Amino acid sequence: MPTIVWSPQPGSQTLFLSCPVFEALYHGTRGPGKTEALLMDFARDVGRGFGAAWRGLLLAREYKDLDDVVTKSKRWFPAIFPGARFLASQAHFKWRFPDGEELLFRVVKRADDYWKYHGHEYPWIGWEELTKWADGGCYEDFLTLCRSSRPGLPRRYRATTNPYGVGHNWVKARFIDPAPSGTVIGGDGVSTDGVSTGGGRERVAIFGSITENKVLLASDPGYLQTLQSIGDANKRKAWLDGDWDVVAGGMFDDVWDQSAHVLAPFDVPASWRIDRSFDWGSAKPFSVGWWAESDGSDVALAQGGRRSFPRGTLFRIAEWYGWNGRANEGGRLVDSEIARGILRREQELGIADRVKPGPADSAIYDETNADSPAEIQARCGVRWLKADKSPGSRARGWEAIRRRLKAAMAAPMEEPGLFVFDTCRHFIRTVPVLARSARDPDDIDTDAEDHVADETRYRVLAAKSGRVHVRKLAGM
C-alpha cells in the first residue's frame, strides 16, 4: 500500500485544491495550512503527462518570505516525486520534476519587475501573502502571463494571505467586499463603494481557520493560545479570526474609532473657516480635501441636537480623489482640468464664495518649460499655500494627526480634534489602514495608498503653525 506523504485536511484546504475557478484567494486566520495548499495546488498536476508545458511561478515580496515556502517544499516534494531536484543558484531558484515540469520561486517588488517576464507563459501562478503588495498593479500585470499555448492544459491563478498589512485595502476590495467567501465573483467588473474590483475571469475567496488544522493543533497545542494573547486588538482579530473589518497597518489603528470620528454631514456655521488641501498626482492619484475649522461656536448636528467643539477642530467636509477606480492608480488629469474640477465641485457644494487657499504639495511648484502646476491652476482661479515639507515634517505631521484623532475621542473634548464627514469615503477607505514603515516606525510605508493622508497631514500641520493664514499664495 503506497505511503501518503501529504493529504489535504477537510475544510478549506480541500476546497482550495478542488476549486475549479481560475482565480482564487485562500485567506483567513493564521495556521490553516495556506502555504502548503498553495504548493500542492501546483503539484497536483505534476506527473500528469504535461511535461515541460506545466510550468509554475510562485511569487513573494521578499526573498526572506520564500524561506518557509522552500523549506516546506523540500519536506514534501522529494518524497512525493522521487527524482525531483531543487536548483538553487544565481540563475536558478526552482524545482525541476522528473517529467520536465518546473516550479520557479521569484521575488517581485514593484510593477517594473513584470518586464522581466513579459512574453512568458505560466499556466500556474501563485502569490504568497498577497497583502504585502501595496497595490494590485503587480498582481494584475502578472495575470496576463497565466496562459499556455498548449490546448487542454489547466490554468490557475492562486494567492494566499491573512487580513492586515500594507495591501489590506486593495485585496479586500477585489476579493472580500464583492461577495461572501465561497461565492464566485462574476467577471463583470462588479464594484463596491466606487472601488473597481476588476473585470475579466471569475474569481473566488476561500476562508480557512486555524481550527481546521488538526495536525498543527495536535503538534503545537499552545499555538491557538499564542494567537489569543496578541496584544494588538486589530492584529488579533485579523490573525485569530481572519477578520477583514479591522484597521490594519499601524499608524492610526490605536487612535481611530469610526463611530467617533465619522459624522453625518451638517451645515457648516457661517463663522467657521473653510479651506482646502491638495496632494498632486498624475500616474498616482491626486487628492483634494475641503476642511471646515471650528471657531468654538455651536453646530446643529445632522442626527439632532447641538454640540460645540474646541476652537481649531478640523472637519473634513468633502473630497475629490483623482484616481481611475483602481487602488493607487491616478486618473492622469492635466492641471487645468483639476482646477476646473475643483471650482465646479465648490459650486455644487455651495461653498464657492467661502473657500480659502490651503496647503498644497510642493511638487506643484516644480517648473516645466517655465510653467508649473501651481501657476496653471492659479490662472484658472485656484490658488494654494505652500505645505510644510521641511525636514522632519512627515513624522511631525503623522503625530499631529494622531493627537487630533485621540482628542476627538475624549469626553469631554478639551483639545482640537479631527472629524470626517461620512461622504469622504476615500479618507475612510485609505487613511485608517496605513501601515508604519518597517524602516522608520515614525513614518508610514510610502508604498501604501497615502495620498489622502498626505494632504490631511499638510492641513493639520498648517493649522498647527498658523500657515493657513499666510497671505502669500501660489501663483501670485
pLDDT tens track for 383-409: 999 999 999 999 999 999 999 999 999
- Range with the lowest mean pLDDT among 156-165, 211-220, 247-256? 247-256
What pLDDT does residue 448 have? 81
Q: Which three cell numbers stand for residue 300?
A: 446643529
The DSSP code sequence of 300-320 is: E-TTSSEE---TT-EEEEEEE
**CA gap 430, 420 in Å, rounded:** 13
Helix boundaries (H) for 232-384: 233-241, 258-261, 335-349, 373-379
What pLDDT does residue 445 have? 80
Dump pLDDT digits (tens) for 416-465: 999 999 999 999 988 987 878 867 878 988 878 899 999 999 999 998 65
Whether pLDDT at 285 is above 80: yes
Whether pLDDT at 198 is above 70: no
**pLDDT mean over 139-147:** 95
Dump pLDDT digits (tens) for 73-132: 999 999 999 999 999 987 789 999 999 999 999 999 888 899 999 999 999 999 999 998
Tell me what percent of the residues of the chain surpass a pLDDT of 70.
93
Compute the half-sphere exposure of residue 88: CA atoms within 13 Å on the CB side of its CA.
7
DSSP 444: B
Q: For residue 322, what are the β-bridge partners?
A: 286
Q: Which three cell numbers stand for residue 156?
A: 490557475
**pLDDT mean over 318-329:** 90
Residue type, 10: P
Whether pLDDT at 195 is above 60: no
What pLDDT does residue 367 have? 83
Dump pLDDT digits (tens) for 337-370: 999 999 999 999 999 999 999 999 998 998 877 8
Whether pLDDT at 154 is above 90: yes
Residue type, 114: Y
Confidence grade of residue 193 (pLDDT, cut at 50, 70, 90): very low
**pLDDT mean over 261-283:** 96
What pLDDT does residue 219 have? 87
The alpha carbon torsion through 186, 189, 190, 195 (nearest 10 deg) reads 140
**CA gap 65, 23 in Å, rounded:** 22
Whether pLDDT at 325 is above 60: yes
Mean confidence (pLDDT) of the chain = 89
What pLDDT does residue 194 have? 39
Confidence grade of residue 469 (pLDDT, cut at 50, 70, 90): very low
**CA–CA distance from 249 to each of 58, 168, 252, 273, 456 (Å)?**
25, 8, 8, 32, 18
| CATH code of domain 12-241 | 3.40.50.300
What pLDDT does residue 347 have? 97
Residue type, 124: W
Give the other-Cβ count within 10 Å of 224's Cβ. Answer: 18
**CA gap 167, 140 in Å, rounded:** 14
User: How remote is the C-alpha of 468 from its chain's centroid?
Assistant: 31
Top CATH class, 258-469: alpha beta
The DSSP code sequence of 173-200 is: IIIISSS-TTSPBPSB--EETTEE--BS
Q: What b/e readout covers 323-351, taking b as 16+ CB neighbours within 10 angstroms?
A: beebbbbbbeeebeebbebbbebbeebeb
Confidence grade of residue 234 (pLDDT, cut at 50, 70, 90): confident
Helix boundaries (H) for 293-392: 335-349, 373-379
Whether pLDDT at 472 is above 70: no
What pLDDT does residue 39 have? 97
The residues spanned by each domain of the chain are 12-241, 258-469
DSSP 267: P
Whether pLDDT at 189 is above 70: no
Tell me what percent of the residues of the chain surpass a pLDDT of 90.
67
Helix pair 67-80, 34-43: axis angle to 10 deg: 50
Which has the higher per-residue pLDDT, 17 or 238? 17
Q: Which three cell numbers stand for residue 41?
A: 495546488
